[in-house]
Every structure is written in structure tokens, then in C-alpha cells.
Structure 1
């Protein structure tokens, strides 16, 4: 009898210890994943910034590839560690310049859309009335319009470039930022610090920029990290369709498009840029998840 009671007493202790070890294991894995994500982002950003300094001229200048082997397979001991494409352009250099385009478009479109959408959403949520109704109608209309058609139309009218693609993608992010900023503003307007500012005679612009904006900007930045990853994928999709930067200037999307016809014989032409884009998007999402988790813990 005593033996069975002792066994039952030990079982909850064992299960608690097992749960504790499992919790520590999950925490260690999340920490390791976050550090790996940071490491990859530091590498890819550094390579993108220093691409002109590094010996990557053969990645986008066909005139320098006359004596370079075409369709060379990856060989870490050679001058082309990741191989070359059918024109002899270096794939490693293509990754560097492609990272520059993807990060420029991703960060630029997100920053521009965040700035415009946050200001509109703050103003609409604070003023309310007819302005809020008009902003809501325009936001709903933009969200209902197919984004791919809007992008194709914008790029078709203007010559494809980094600036055009950035502005077009930024336009697509504005409605989401407007909604997010408006929702946070509506929850902040009845708060005591806003009412106190009004009672002290603060102007509307001071309340918006001094009281509301600092409390809205952090949730917007947390959301923006995920948007950057989505913008990188969107730019690659446009490049794949030939609606972004054109060859020989490399982007991850047009590198995948250029190598798809030879995928069976030379899979590295597609896998090299695809894996780079996958790791970049995965790392950005991991960082965004960590930031959101910390924000939720602070809110509690």
C-alpha cells in the first residue's frame, strides 16, 4: 500500500520535471533559431552593402565573362564557389546584388507604406467623422482591388526599376497600415493621458504627434518586420515575371526565371537564389516573431 502511494507521489514530480526539461528545450531552440536568423541577416546585409567592394563585377557585366566557363557547377575551391549561369555570370555575385535589390525594395516599400499609412490612420482615428468614413471607404476599395493587377498595371505604365517597384509595393501596404494605426488610435483616444492633454489645452497636432504617435509606432514597427519579408517575396515574384529589374542586373527572381529551363541539368541555377531568398524570409519572420512575443509579454 505504501509502495503504491510512493509511486503515485513520484509520478507528478517526474511529469513536472519532464515538462520543465521540455520547456527549457523549447526555449533553447527558440534562442538558437533567433541567433541563427540574426547571423544570416547580418551576412546577407553585409554582402549586399559591400557588393561593389567585393570582386563581384562578373555577376552583372557580361563583357567580363568572355573567358569564364558557362554553366559551371558549384565548387567551393574554384573562383566561382556557387557556379555560373549560361552566360558565365557568377552566381555568388548575383546573390549579393540580388540581395541589395530585394532588401532595398523590401525595406523601402515597407518604410514608405508605414509612414503614409500610419499618418493617415492616426488622423482618421483621432478626427473621426466624415474623414474617418472617407478613409475607411478608400481603404476598403484598395483592399478589394486585386494587388497583382495593380502591380502589373503600374509597372507596365512606367519603366521597371527599383524605385517604381518600391513605390508600387508601398502603395499596396498602405491600407493595412491605415487600419492598424486607426485601430490603435481608437483604443488610445479615451485614455487618461490624452484626456489630460486636451484638458490642458494641447492642440490636436500636439496630441497626435506627442501623445498618440509614440504609442502607435512600436506596434507598427513590429508588424513591419513581417511586411519586409512579404515585400521581398513580392519583388522576387515581379522579377520572375519580368516586371522588375531586368537582366543582366541580377535579382533573386530573375535568376530563378533564367535558370528554370535548365533546372533538370543544372539545378543550382534555381536552387542557389531560391535557398538564399528562403533563408532570408525565414530569418526575418523569426526575428518578427521574437519581437511580437516580447511585445505581448510587455503588454501583460
Structure 2
């Protein structure tokens, strides 16, 4: 079910421009639409509308485009940078390992939320800047995990054989170690995607992330502030439910992949 939910959500996000959805951003086009319409599956707005008459279903789907793109991009950046540094640290050891370890501990010493708030107040609010900022949360964890896996893989026969055949350090790192190490951190990537979706939503909710009219799940939940939630609960419950299901699905899939990988390691 988790895979089906994510597949439907991602497919809807990718194909949103051709789905013929109601207006999600431009309030000038919804002057004749009802405002604060509650969810009604048989109506033109099955998940209701907001204060400007914008369709909640459309905003959910376009918000998914933002949340998925930002969080997945941040994880890819964090995996590439952190994974490369972790593999280099675990393979070369010595001074290089100590320098990268110091960098990792420095990033971990700063609370993630404080770091993101500081970056969000400095950088212009855009999807690219959000992805770059969020990637800093993933990098130190990726460094530690990939370094630990590299220490284990570096003792395997295929690395010894490559070194015996005269392979240089660069070839061993990028051709032998990296494919095997990165495969082992795929479950962690899924967990990081879920965590960064929450982080992006939190920043948007606080008003320092992506801002309206660009719909995101965080600023959609923020529309329920100032007492509006009590009168129009769908403003909060609809995006919050989608956020919960998405984060839960990514976490559960990551956990299942980790268990399968552990069993495979045991069988080896």
C-alpha cells in the first residue's frame, strides 16, 4: 500500500500540467469560485477550496511536485557529496579521515533546524536554494554511514584483487567501492527523503521557506492559523493527512528495504 500511495502521488505530481486540474495558484482566475468550500467528493472541488477559492486537490498535487523535487534533490546532493567524502575517508584513512571527520562533527554540532532557519533567512526562497540548504542536513549522516560501510567493503576480495592488478586509488574508490557502498545506503536515502519533506514543510509553515502563491504542504497547513482551523478544518487536515501518509510510506519502505538488505548480508 505504501508503494502504491507513493506511485500514485509521484505520477500525479509529474503529470499535473496535463490532468486538467482546477486552479491552484492564480487567485485572479477563481473570483467566481466558492471560498472555504468543504470537501465534497461529488463536486468540482473534491477536497474543498481555500480562502481565495483555489482548489485544494490541485494545490496538494502541485505541492507534491515541490516537496518531492526539493527533498529528493537534497538527498541526491547529500548522497553524492557525503557519500564521496565518506568513501574517501574510509579508504584513505589517516589525515584525510581526520579532516573529513572534523567537518562532519562540525555540521552535526549545529542543530538542523537552527541551521535551516539561518540559511532560509539568508538565501532567496526558491526550490534550488531549499534543496541546497536541506542537503546540508543529509551530508554528515551520509558521510558517517558510507565511511563505516567503506571500512567493511575495503577488506573484501574484489578490492584486494583490484589492488593486486594495479588499480589506482581513484579506480578503487569510484569503480569498486562506490557502487557497492551507495547501494547499501539506499534505505537510508528513503528515510532522509521523509525527514526532509517534513523539514521543508516546517520552513514553509514558519513562512521562511517557499511562499504563496507557490503551493507547498507547509504553507497550506499555515493557512489554518489565526483561528481559521476551527471554522474550516479541511485547510489543515487535508495537507496534513497527505504529508503524514507520504512520510509514513517513505519510512516504511526504507525500513523494509533495510531488513531485506540485512537478510542478504546474513546469507552472504
What TM-score bracket applies, with the shorter chain setting the length?
over 0.9
Q: Does 1:72 align with 2:37?
A: yes
Provide runs of 4+ in structure 1 moved above 4 Å: none
Which of 261, 264, 270 is the matching residue for 2:236? 270
Deviations for 1:225-270, whole angstroms, at most 9, x for unmatched residues? 1111111111100110111111111100000001233111111110
Aligned length: 265
Q: Does 1:124 align with 2:67?
A: no
* Distance in 2 of aligned mates of 1:131 and 1:259: 50
Deviation at 1:134, TM superposition (A): 0.7
Give the corresponding residue for 2:143.
Answer: 178
Deviation at 1:57, TM superposition (A): 4.8
Q: Structure 2: any 5+ residue segments left out of the alignment?
A: none
Give the corresponding residue for 1:241.
Answer: 206
* Distance in 2 of aligned mates of 1:188 and 1:58: 52
Deviation at 1:55, TM superposition (A): 2.6
Structure number with bigger Rg: 1
Where does 1:115-194 land on structure 2 (aligned, <5 Å)?
115-194=80-159
Q: TM-score scaled by structure 1?
A: 0.86
Give the corresponding residue for 1:33.
Answer: none
Q: Structure 1: any 5+ residue segments left out of the alignment?
A: 1-35
Give the corresponding residue for 2:259.
Answer: 293
* Larger mean Cα displacement after TM superposition, 150-159 or 73-82: 150-159
* Distance in 2 of aligned mates of 1:262 and 1:55: 29
SS of residue paired to 1:181: helix
RMSD over aligned CA atoms reads 1.1
Give the corresponding residue for 2:169.
Answer: 204
Q: TM-score scaled by structure 2?
A: 0.96
Deviation at 1:199, TM superposition (A): 1.9
